Amino acid sequence: MVGAGFAGVACVRRLERRLAPHEADITLVTPFAYQLYLPLLPQVASGVLTPQSIAVSLRRSKKYRTRIIPGGAVGVDLKAKVCVIRTITDRIVDEPYDYIVLAPGSVTRTFDIPGLTDHAFGMKTLAEAAYIRDHVITQLDLADASEDPAERAARLQFVVVGGGYAGTETAACLQRLTHAAVKRYPRLDPSLIKWHLIDIAPRLMPELGEKLGRAAQEDLRRRGIEISLGVSIAKAGPEEVTFTNGRVVPTHTLIWTAGVVASPLMQTLGAETVKGRLAVTAEMCLPGYDGVFALGDSAAVPDLAKGDGAVCPPTAQHAHRQGKRVAENLIATLRNQPMRPYEHKDLGLVVDLGGADAVAKPLGVELHGVPAQAVARGYHLAALRTNVAKTRVATNWMLNAIAGDDFVRTGFQARRPAKLKDFEYTDAYMTQEQVRQRVEGAAAGPAT
């Protein structure tokens, strides 16, 4: 199994439960010792939740027996059935397999915009969320200390690009952070704090429908977030960002959440891809190769519920359910039984904008405000995998509601590179040629 996200962990858990230890050895390749509950990442950035509360342990499970290799797959020889892994100590090792399940998820999608990967932050990993929190509080500290009005103004402007649920929640949660924090900075003029949320699309979160999308937009505008639609970034620098409409915003904070693209591992396999995602059948098998499954954000799984050649959107909802189905299909293969296609009708969406602001569309029912917030929180508590994680998150929510935040800048990550180019490891992979040479070399044995 490659990847311990929603898809990988759901698959491994089901295999552990349904296969006896003598039937299969399960190996999981993952750089981290946890499954990250990504939908609550913006709440870590805003300090409502601690980072540990959404890092769900891989080793806390009743039937846990999987061998975990700490590292990342950097190439796969699909013919020789060998996965090449770079461990967290930078050792390259070969792992032969009978069946491989590829679920390495996605990375932030960037475009060829000057300065973007050098100056923008992403919101895709725990380290990025923790870093952004420290960075935003740092801007308040520096603005408070500065005697230069231009520097103050620049440090107190924040730009988030991406009006999907990830970007909208990020802007909303972080605006609440600065809005509450500024009360502890009596020297700062609160009206100088400006959050910008921009997207090239004409609407925020189109998947919510017109009415709810507008309600979310009104909530954000009421809280002073400036929303610019039909606009993107033309250029990013260390102290300013230029929008495509020519507007220049002085800022030290650009957060880029404009979509995702499948893990670059999928492009290295030499198999067909659809917009970067590995093209698989509805059973999530890779055509033409024996024993290869792919799913989640990294695979283009046909969306049978929608039909018309649609593929499943990259959501946790699909990834988790696909994980269970791949496990069942793998077991069916082992037992010479027929596989079943994946089919799931979207259950809707929940969007937590912080405080009592939320929008949700469970099973097509449109909710706004407190009822939506209750549904959103109930959904997350139900979806978190372990009871310990559920308790940690619920306790964090309660503590935050009662005691608020102390807005402490930890400084743990100060002076460390943290921009998109530093976090996305997109050049860590081997080409098919390199993988083949390595595997063939190993098969030939050491030269004498």
Q: Which residue is nearest to ligand FAD (CB)?
A: 5
Torsion of CA 372, 373, 374, 379, to 10 degrees: 90
Give the shortest CB-175-to-ligand FAD separation in angstroms.
Answer: 16
Question: CB–CB of 126/163 below 8 Å?
Answer: no
Give the shortest CB-91-to-ligand FAD separation in angstroms.
Answer: 14
Which residue number, 154 or 384, has a Cβ lying nearer to ligand FAD? 384
Which residue number, 173 or 231, has a Cβ lying nearer to ligand FAD? 173
Q: Give 394's strand partners.
A: none
Which residue number, 240 or 322, has a Cβ lying nearer to ligand FAD? 322
Sign of CA dihedral 111, 113, 117, 120: negative
Give the shortest CB-448-to-ligand FAD separation in angstroms.
Answer: 34
Which residue number, 193 or 284, has a Cβ lying nearer to ligand FAD? 284
Give the shortest CB-164-to-ligand FAD separation in angstroms.
Answer: 9
Give the shortest CB-367-to-ligand FAD separation in angstroms.
Answer: 15
Which residue number, 32 or 97, has a Cβ lying nearer to ligand FAD? 32
Question: CB–CB of 304/343 below 8 Å?
Answer: yes
Give the shortest CB-306-to-ligand FAD separation in angstroms.
Answer: 16
Residues in contact with ligand FAD by CB under 6 A are: 2-8, 29-32, 36, 38-39, 41-42, 72-73, 103-105, 123-124, 165-166, 263, 265, 296-298, 314-317, 319
Which residue number, 9 or 19, has a Cβ lying nearer to ligand FAD? 9
Q: How many Cα atoms within 13 Å fall on the side-chain side of residue 428?
A: 23
Q: How does DSSP assign 86-128, residue by residue?
A: EETTS-EEEEE-SSEEE---EEE---S-TTHHHH-B--SSHHH
Question: Phi/psi at 430 (nearest 5 deg)?
Answer: -95, 155
Which residue number, 2 or 249, has a Cβ lying nearer to ligand FAD? 2
Give the shortest CB-433-to-ligand FAD separation in angstroms.
Answer: 18
Give the shortest CB-427-to-ligand FAD separation in angstroms.
Answer: 12
The 3 state secondary structure assigned to 264-307 is HHHHHHCCCEECCEEECCCCCECCCCCCEEECHHHEECECCCCC
Angle, alpha carbons 102-108-112 (nearest 5°): 125
Which residue number, 104 or 115, has a Cβ lying nearer to ligand FAD? 104
Element (H, E) at 22: none
Q: Give 140's strand partners.
A: none
Among 74, 318, 384, smallest CA distance to 299 is for 318
Question: Phi/psi at 57 (nearest 5 deg)?
Answer: -60, 140
Give the shortest CB-148-to-ligand FAD separation in angstroms.
Answer: 34
Which residue number, 120 or 143, has a Cβ lying nearer to ligand FAD? 120
Question: CB–CB of 47/407 below 8 Å?
Answer: yes
Element (H, E) at 158: strand 157-161
